[in-house]
Amino acid sequence: MTKITINQASKYVGKEVTIGSWILNKRSSGKIAFLQLRDGTGFMQAVVVKESVGEELFKVAKGITQETSLYITGVIKEDERSDFGYEMEVTGIEVIHESVDYPITPKAHGTDFLMDHRHLWLRSKRQHAVMKIRNEIIRATYEFFNDNGFTKIDPPILTGSAPEGTSELFATKYFEEDAFLSQSGQLYMEAAAMAHGKVFSFGPTFRAEKSKTRRHLIEFWMIEPEMAFYEHEDSLEVQEQYVSYIVQSVLKNCQLDLKLLGRDTEKLEKVKAPFPRITYTDAIQFLKEQGFDDIEWGDDFGAPHETAIANHYDLPVFILNYPTGIKPFYMQPNPDEEGTVKCADLIAPEGYGEIIGGSERIWDLELIQSRIKEHGLDPAAYSYYTDLRKYGSVPHSGFGLGLERTVAWLSGVEHVRETSPFPRLLNRLYP
Ligand code: 4AD
Ligand code: MG
């Protein structure tokens, strides 16, 4: 018998095939049983008709339990009533392993229960769709940067220095020395850009933040491009093109997943470069006009502020030129507005918050050395970084896109915990 996967069904209409699968759900009457199959590549209904399969096989089908694994054989038929478009008319069932008392039943469960069973929850339709969208963003990311002349370089995860501030570090021992899990690969990517021109990284990053919001994970994946001879304006163009590319790729290649999630795709279809821009200073003014009197120039934005700004636009919006005091040590001063730096955060629409942080980097040796001192950092730990300003220094810029927040936005899921296969959250290291 020909063994196929569910996503190949369209090529086998009218043929008898076998599919290795699991039972997602089942409905039956005295004469007919409907088995909802899943095999990792998709979901499909299998129909077992008592009159055609006989008493014995029908009994097996009727008694089959949720998440039982099986080889199921039958003829593929077109089925216009389902989104998938195909179903199987069953001729044979070989149970591989019977699943007893599967904990996640079709009834509603609380989030804590589901998170405790994350290893099983991943099998559900909704979680499957979110992971497929995550995978498409990753695929499109590699495609975009490879097609645009970038080289992928992998920065280390065990590091001796802290790019994004010293308070959010996971410390560990490196034999006798102190080490930290990487918060960002940026500083190493700057070194790589001086060797390869345009580079990008994609890897896990760690923040020991005691934040318990729908946007924060302790471990998340970040895409960090870095470009030599790029001023900040050039970097903004890469950012809007990259984000447009991943949004359009997801719309094109994840239609069934978006439909299953009930995602309103009209809003996503509009996401095409260029994106609107507003300066930090104008954003403060805008917020005050909107009645926010809890924020002053020099404060960082909270989620409600970002959402209010984002709601004013249909597209992701760049907030430019934040005050020097609320940004990391490496950002290039902005000559057009005293006390600000050449940076931008990209805020996603619909309340999903900041998905990109980026900036032009200081490339003057004396200035970077004085910033390292002002921030109370150990110059010895950064000597590799200051070396880049000693030997043929050039203007350069880069940014970091948070994968999980981007998945949340495109999938339309409320909380980033559903966008990571095994999320690390405050108070959650299991499973
Ligand atoms: O703004 P961040 O901290 O910027 C950097 O780390 C820079 N070094 C990047 C660079 O220029 N190469 O983080 C970048 C992005 C944020 O915009 C957000 O999308 C995501 O990373 N992010 C988080 N995602 C989930 N949970 C957290 N705790 C996150 N912290 C940041
Ligand atoms: Mg940021």
CATH code, 178:
3.30.930.10
Give the CA count within 13 Å in the CB-facing half-sphere of 11: 7
Residue type, 418: E
Strand order of the β-sheet with 171-174 is 158-159, 177-181, 171-174
- Residue 20 and residue 93 in one domain: yes
Q: Coil, strand, or helix at residue 7? A: helix
Burial tier of 283 (Cβ tally within 10 Å: 0-12, 13-18, 19+)? buried
- Closest protein CA for atom 4 of ligand 1: 357
Domain for residue 103, yes or no? no
Domain for residue 427, yes or no? no
- Residue 409 and residue 299 in one domain: yes
* pLDDT band with cut points at 50, 70 and 90 for residue 161: confident
Instruction: Give the Å distance between the CA of 238 and the centre of ligand 1.
Output: 17
Per-residue pLDDT at 164 exceeds 80: no
Torsion, CA 18, CA 23, CA 27, CA 30, rounded to 10: 50
- Atom index in ligand 1 nearest the CA of residue 163 equals 8
Instruction: Give the Å distance between the CA of 344 and the centre of ligand 2.
Output: 9
Residue 256 makes CB contacts below 8 A (sequence gap 6+) with 42, 83, 84, 129
Q: Coil, strand, or helix at residue 232? A: helix
Q: Which of 220, 418, 420, when mutated, tests ligand 1's pocket best, judged by the most ligand atoms within 8 Å of its CB?
A: 220
Per-residue pLDDT at 165 exceeds 80: no
Closest Cα to residue 153, out of 180, 125, 178, 186? 186
Per the CB < 8 A criterion, the answer to whether 290 and 316 are in contact is no
Measured CA to CA in angstroms, residue 72 lies from 15, 40, 95, 401 at distances of 14, 15, 8, 43
H/E stretch holding 50: helix 50-53
Tens of pLDDT, residues 199-249: 999 999 999 989 899 999 999 999 999 999 999 999 999 999 999 999 999
Query: What is the C-alpha separation between 326 and 298, in angstroms, rounded?
Result: 7
- Residue 227 and residue 356 in one domain: yes
* pLDDT band with cut points at 50, 70 and 90 for residue 94: very high
- Residue 31 and residue 143 in one domain: no
Q: Coil, strand, or helix at residue 115? A: helix
- Residue 93 and residue 124 in one domain: no
Overall number of domains in the chain: 2
Among 66, 97, 128, identify where a domain stops: 97
Per the CB < 8 A criterion, the answer to whether 343 and 358 are in contact is yes
- Residue 85 and residue 126 in one domain: no
Q: Which residues of 402-411 are buried (b: 16+ CB within 10 A; e: fewer)?
A: bbbbbbbbbb
At residue 247, the pLDDT reads: 98
* pLDDT band with cut points at 50, 70 and 90 for residue 1: confident
- Closest protein CA for atom 24 of ligand 1: 402
Q: Which of 405, 410, 425, when mutated, tests ligand 1's pocket best, judged by the most ligand atoms within 8 Å of its CB?
A: 405
* pLDDT band with cut points at 50, 70 and 90 for residue 431: very high
Domain for residue 211, yes or no? yes
Instruction: Give the Å distance between the CA of 24 and the centre of ligand 2.
Output: 40
Among 97, 131, 149, identify where a domain stops: 97
Task: Give percent of the chain above pLDDT 90.
Answer: 94
* pLDDT band with cut points at 50, 70 and 90 for residue 283: very high
- Residue 211 and residue 63 in one domain: no
- Residue 366 and residue 318 in one domain: yes
* pLDDT band with cut points at 50, 70 and 90 for residue 79: very high
At residue 379, the pLDDT reads: 93
Tens of pLDDT, residues 318-359: 999 999 999 999 999 999 999 999 999 999 999 999 999 999
Instruction: Give the Å distance between the CA of 356 and the centre of ligand 1.
Output: 7
Per-residue pLDDT at 412 exceeds 80: yes
* pLDDT band with cut points at 50, 70 and 90 for residue 122: very high
Residue 88 forms beta bridges with which residues?
Answer: 46, 76
At residue 160, the pLDDT reads: 85
Residue 269 makes CB contacts below 8 A (sequence gap 6+) with 251
Which residues are near ligand 2, the ion (C-beta closer than 5 Å)?
357
Instruction: Give the Å distance between the CA of 190 and the centre of ligand 1.
Output: 16
- Closest protein CA for atom 22 of ligand 1: 402
- Residue 46 and residue 146 in one domain: no
At residue 162, the pLDDT reads: 73
pTM of the model: 0.97
pLDDT mean across residues, the chain: 96
- Closest protein CA for atom 20 of ligand 1: 402
Instruction: Give the Å distance between the CA of 13 and the centre of ligand 2.
Output: 51
Q: Which of 145, 159, 222, when mutated, tests ligand 1's pocket best, judged by the most ligand atoms within 8 Å of its CB?
A: 222
Instruction: Give the Å distance between the CA of 401 and the centre of ligand 2.
Output: 9
Per the CB < 8 A criterion, the answer to whether 61 and 19 are in contact is no
- Residue 10 and residue 135 in one domain: no
Measured CA to CA in angstroms, residue 372 lies from 161, 189, 226, 363, 379 at distances of 12, 18, 20, 13, 7
Q: Which residues of 194-207 are buried (b: 16+ CB within 10 A; e: fewer)?
A: bebbbbbbbeebbb
Tens of pLDDT, residues 252-271: 999 999 999 999 999 999 99
Q: Coil, strand, or helix at residue 292? A: coil
Burial tier of 87 (Cβ tally within 10 Å: 0-12, 13-18, 19+)? buried
Instruction: Give the Å distance between the CA of 204 and the centre of ligand 1.
Output: 11
Residue reference for tokens 């995860």: 157
What is the domain range of residue 242?
119-418
Average pLDDT over residues 67-92: 97
- Closest protein CA for atom 15 of ligand 1: 402
Per the CB < 8 A criterion, the answer to whether 246 and 144 are in contact is yes
Per-residue pLDDT at 133 exceeds 80: yes
Domain CATH code at residue 85: 2.40.50.140
Residue 8 makes CB contacts below 8 A (sequence gap 6+) with 41
Per-residue tokens: 130: 């979110």
Residue reference for tokens 């904990």: 103
- Closest protein CA for atom 21 of ligand 1: 402
Domain for residue 431, yes or no? no
* pLDDT band with cut points at 50, 70 and 90 for residue 403: very high
